[in-house]
Chains A and B, each alone.
Chain A
Amino acid sequence: MLLSQLPVGKTGEVVAITCSGLMRRRLLDLGLVPGTKIQTLRQSPGGDPLAFNIRGAVIALRLDTASQVKIRLVK
């Protein structure tokens, strides 16, 4: 499952980051390492970007960025 598909209110766990280069570095900087819990908090009125709870901070990512993160749904 991709982070961009995680419905609002659900929590996932990072499995892998699929992009490389600067974008990968930025996502790692946010603390998105494998095993990190991440929750979708809300959607912007236009639908894109999404806001996530990453390690206690609220971070907004565009859908194309969020689709670079593979996650596993946490029950």
Chain B
Amino acid sequence: MSVDLGRILQRAQDLSCGEDAVRDKVVARIYQEAESLASEVVMAEKPARDWDTLIDDVLTSKRFGYPSMLALLAFVLWLTISGANLPSQLLARLLFAGEEGLSRLFLSFGAPDWLHGLLVLGVYRCLAWVVSVMLPPMAIFFPLFTLLEDLGYLPRVAFNLDGFFQKAGAHGKQALTMSMGFGCNAAGVIACRIIESPRERLIAILTNNFVPCNGRFPTLIAMSNIFLGAMALNGSSFLAVLLVAGLVVGGIAITLVVSRLLSATLLKGIPSHFALELPPYRPPQVLQVILRSVFDRTLFVLWRAVKVAAPAGAVAWGLANIHVDGLSLLGHTAQVLEPLGAAMGLDGVILLAFILGLPANEIVIPIILMGYLSAGAMLELEGLPALRELLLANGWTWVTALNMMLFSLLHFPCGTTLLTIRKETQSWKWTLLAALIPTLIGTAVCILVAQGARLVGLA
């Protein structure tokens, strides 16, 4: 028995010298067999009209390929932005009404001031903000995105964009992992597993953060409103959509540029081969898509944000209310960051909010609000108009809003994404780089915009 095994191994070794030839024969034989079986039992009917071809003739054509992608992006953003406004206001009103009830409850128990402050003004308000600002856009964006996914549109995006990724020295599937990043960058980083070549997978991981995730979309949308308000272009959701869509396209452009730079320096190499299937379009199962995206994605992401927002609200309230030498800890830290913030067209409070917002991007705006309000707790804000008033009163200009958007797009990934990168790359070095690259680019871009605006005399 053991002798036989040895001979078989020896024979296998001999055969493997002409590895390709043997494999060719095996594969050809398998296909031959499969073909003959299939021809006996499978009957294929030619459809009267090939819809897939007709649709692809438009969506991947030279003339309409890119415009249709942009139009679709703008349409999804428009639905999200205009659809989320009203439910956001209603939710905010409801949740802040709940806060009054909570406050009365604490009062009736004779709870100490600090306990009421920490739990109601810190934790509850932060939660209320995150839920009312995040839930409506997510509940609209995620189902729309899942519908496109279900339709089979995403591979067409990869097909259209692959030329650019190839020139950037990146893998064609990076267009897919990038699209996943719109939902959640941590999910996008995990999705990079579909790229086999380690070099190209690292490029895809390091650049995934350049597309805004769902935690950042509400910030971008709110800021685009404030930007337009500061430019005295109120109430135009069309312009807000264009602005956010422009940022997304800018993020994709930066993805390509950084990919190109990485593949020319740290991650040298030539693009590996790839085959992308363009599956047939399927009519999406609308009800199932909505249920799946609400429960699997929306509530999942919201729950994650809530888990982070609660302790963050407590910490931020503490920082804003523990006073040393007549100034809160938050105020002291913001003062330290002020010079850098000012050079970037932002301020110390905004920079501190981004740093404290490391656990989740969703809580950046709530922390900014805590920083601005002398009471040391977030104001009751009913929707975007009230937010705009408050920020403009705190010295914001259109430059502040624009740079806030730019830095939101271009800064270190959130804590969850960083931990995911560490897990996927097994290296703190790449994780650090994944944080440094976007932060340095964002800082440089903000300084350029701020100083440029000052130079031209626009601000």
Contacts and interface: CB of A to CB of B under 8 A. Distances in A.
Interface of A: 17, 20, 22-31, 33-34, 36, 41-49, 51, 56-62, 64-65
Contacts of A30: 275
The 9 closest A-B CB pairs, nearest first, are A46-B163, A45-B65, A33-B28, A58-B278, A60-B276, A65-B273, A28-B27, A23-B273, A45-B62
Contacts of B56: 41-42, 51
Contacts of A59: 275-278
A51 B62 contact: no
A42 B28 contact: no
B215 to A, nearest CB: 32
B24 to A, nearest CB: 7
A32 to B, nearest CB: 9
B164 A46 contact: yes
Contact of B274 (A17, A25, A45, A65): A65
B60 interface: yes
B31 A31 contact: yes
Interface of A is mostly: mixed
B275 A26 contact: yes
A67 to B, nearest CB: 11
Given A49-B276, A59-B276, A62-B172, A44 B31 contact: no
A49 B159 CA distance: 7
Given A48-B163, A58-B278, A60-B275, A33 B65 contact: no
Contacts of A47: 163
Contacts of B20: 20, 24
Contact of B160 (A20, A25, A41, A46): A46
Contacts of A58: 52, 277-280
30 contacts: A20-B20, A22-B272, A25-B23, A29-B27, A42-B56, A43-B62, A44-B162, A45-B62, A46-B162, A46-B163, A48-B166, A49-B162, A49-B172, A49-B276, A56-B44, A57-B277, A58-B52, A58-B278, A59-B276, A60-B159, A60-B162, A60-B172, A60-B275, A60-B278, A61-B275, A62-B162, A62-B172, A62-B273, A62-B274, A64-B273
B297 to A, nearest CB: 28
B66 interface: yes
B17 to A, nearest CB: 13
B288 interface: no
Nearest to B34: A31
A56 B275 CA distance: 15
B163 A26 contact: no
A23 to B, nearest CB: 5
Nearest to A68: B273
